[in-house]
Amino acid sequence: MSDVTSSVLFEHPLNEKTRTWLRIEFLLQQLHHNRSLSDIGNALTFFRAVADLLDVLDRGDVRTELLKELERQQQKLLQWADVPGVDRDRIHMLRQQLKERAAALMSAPRMGQMLRDDRLIAMVRQRLSIPGGCCSFDLPTLHIWLHQPKAVKEGVVADWLSTLTPLQQALDMSLDLIRHSGTFHPQTSLNGFFQDNAADADLLRLRITSDQQLYPQISGHKTRYAIRFLSLDAENGQIPARLTFDLACC
């Protein structure tokens, strides 16, 4: 499959909670993509993602913020239920899912605790800060562990990831509802610059055609944001005087 696509999607958080959630989502995606641990390359990517995830979880009360968001989304859906012509069965189903995600998240142990307590993860995490610190002579335990039968490794990894299921399900649903709260509209930047009000949004989503070889530099917080488009080729790239792109404020 070609890596070239017709458009590229960029997302930019407009508050700290969304910034943290996008980082956690990014790390969880890496964990699942590299869960096979088939070689030392993806094994180290997996363990580095574990270490980064634990660092992020240690910096704030992610559980509390997610529970607040699940409740907020329930209240928003409740308001939608009174709109004429709305699919009330769909609203009811989503609210029930939100309640289930909240209950599972609330009853779960401290997020990531099993990963913190695991001896192998602790050993690898300690060596990741050292350049090349996971070589076979530095960390022989990891290298012999990776030579276990595939089924054994898969079982251990499945147990590790299962402890993150309440977090992942709550996060996925929260971000999915946030993303679907905004609709893409065509916008035009002048000389590579665009700004507008965010109206207390959580997330900006921007689509631009890949053949432009441009990327957005976004700054914003809560109520206002600005976008400056830059060329991938910093020396020779051209910024169109008028550039059309799609933008959703969620």
Domain that residue 245 falls in: 182-249
Could you tell me the CATH number of the domain that includes residue 227?
A: 2.60.440.10
Counted domains in the chain: 2
User: Do 144 and 74 fall within a single domain?
Assistant: yes
User: Do 92 and 210 fall within a single domain?
Assistant: no
pLDDT of residue 80: 82
Where do we find the tokens 């590790």? Answer: 160
Could you tell me the CATH number of the domain that includes residue 92?
A: 1.10.3900.10
User: Do 92 and 70 fall within a single domain?
Assistant: yes
Segments in the chain below pLDDT 50: 1-2
pLDDT of residue 1: 40
pLDDT of residue 237: 80
pTM comes to: 0.92
User: Do 121 and 65 fall within a single domain?
Assistant: yes
User: Do 176 and 186 fall within a single domain?
Assistant: no
Identify whether 174 is part of a domain: yes
pLDDT of residue 186: 97
User: Do 173 and 220 fall within a single domain?
Assistant: no
Identify whether 5 is part of a domain: no
Of 181, 199, 233, which residue is a domain's last?
Answer: 181
User: Do 165 and 199 fall within a single domain?
Assistant: no
User: Do 151 and 38 fall within a single domain?
Assistant: yes
**pLDDT tens, residue by residue, 129-188:** 999 889 999 999 999 999 999 999 999 999 999 999 999 999 999 999 999 999 999 999
User: Do 112 and 89 fall within a single domain?
Assistant: yes
Identify whether 228 is part of a domain: yes
User: Do 174 and 231 fall within a single domain?
Assistant: no
Of 181, 211, 228, which residue is a domain's last?
Answer: 181
Identify whether 21 is part of a domain: yes
User: Do 186 and 235 fall within a single domain?
Assistant: yes
Identify whether 1 is part of a domain: no
Of 134, 149, 181, which residue is a domain's last?
Answer: 181
Identify whether 160 is part of a domain: yes
User: Do 173 and 53 fall within a single domain?
Assistant: yes
pLDDT of residue 5: 57
